Chain A
Amino acid sequence: QVQLVQSGAEVKKPGSSVKVSCKASGGTFSSYAISWVRQAPGQGLEWMGGIIPIFGIVNYAQKFRGRVTITTDDSTSTAYMELSSLRSEDTAVYYCAKSPSLAPGWFDPWGQGTLVTVSS
């Protein structure tokens, strides 16, 4: 049973960057894809991008291209999402989520979420 544990809440200034981590335990890290999904306060879910660690293939939603970078550290079974040029609208809970395999798939399980607050 794979479990995903994310890093803690962050408070950032506009224009800065944030890097959120997602550590996987159980399972084989290289055998599935990891996606990042965010949820602004009171809003719905928004897919930001995903990575297939074994192939190093990364895909980003068009809205976030140029501002988001998703990486992994296979030695620690950890995925990272870095978002730059932060603005107040980026205040949200950021989730990592696992796909069942390397193929397109649903998300299960999810990390517990990381609240990122952007405020001057």
Chain B
Amino acid sequence: EIVLTQSPGTLSLSPGERATLSCRASQSISSNYLAWYQQKPGQAPRLLIYGASNRATGIPDRFSGSGSGTDFTLTISRLEPEDFAVYYCQQYGSSPMYSFGQGTKLEIK
């Protein structure tokens, strides 16, 4: 099973700042099969990024994903008030077994 470790656990930033979230895998993820999700309280997760770097439909271009192998990054270039939420990475390279990271909480400083 591929274990995903996200860091930091909590990130405190102000609107307008740049956010960098990390997701590290215990083994290489084939074909960069990694996705990122945003979750707000009381809501289902929302897909942001798939294939490590492809933005999902309707996702603003301030969100970008990068990385390969075992190290992946989600970057939010300029934080908007609505971006403060919990972010999860997920691998689907070891299908049919999927796994999620433990999440990074992005909070307002």
Are A47 and B33 in contact, with the CB atoms below 8 A? Answer: no
Assuming the contacts A104-B92, A108-B56, asked whether A46 and B44 have C-beta atoms less than 8 A apart, the reply is no
Most-contacted residue by chain B among A50, A103, A105 (CB, 10 A): A105
Q: Which residues of B contact A57 (CB under 8 A)?
A: 96
Q: Which of A61, A107, A111 has a CB less than 8 Å from the CB of B97?
A: A61
Q: Is the CB of B33 within 8 A of A104?
A: yes
User: Assuming the A-B contacts A44-B103, A50-B96, A59-B97, are A110 and B44 also in contact, with contact meaning beta carbons closer than 8 angstroms in the complex?
Assistant: yes
A45 touches B96 (CB 8 A): no
A59 to chain B, nearest CB (A): 4
User: How many whole Å from B91's CB to the nearest CB in chain A?
Assistant: 10
Identify whether the interface residues of A are mostly helix, strand, loop, or mixed. loop
Alpha-carbon distance between A57 and B96 when the two chains are bound, in angstroms: 10
User: How many residue-residue contacts, CB under 8 A, span A and B?
Assistant: 57
Q: How far is the CB of A66 from chain B (nearest CB, A)?
A: 16
Q: Which residue, A44, A61, A104, A112, has most C-beta atoms of chain B within 10 A?
A: A104
Report how far A113 CA is from B43 CA in the complex, Å.
Answer: 8
Bound CA span A72–B102, Å: 29
**Docked-complex contact A106 and B92, CB < 8 angstroms:** yes
B47 A111 Cβ-Cβ under 8 A: no
**A35 close to B (CB within 8 Å):** yes
Cα-based distance from A100 to B66 in the complex (angstroms):
21
> In the complex, are the beta carbons of A107 and B99 less than 8 A apart?
no
- Whether the pair B90, A107 counts as a contact (CB closer than 8 A) is yes
- Residues of B whose CB lies within 8 Å of any CB of A are 1, 33, 35, 37, 44-47, 50, 56, 88, 90, 92-93, 95-103
* Pairs A–B under 8 Å by Cβ, sample size 11: A44-B103, A45-B37, A59-B96, A61-B97, A62-B1, A104-B95, A107-B35, A107-B45, A107-B47, A108-B50, A111-B44
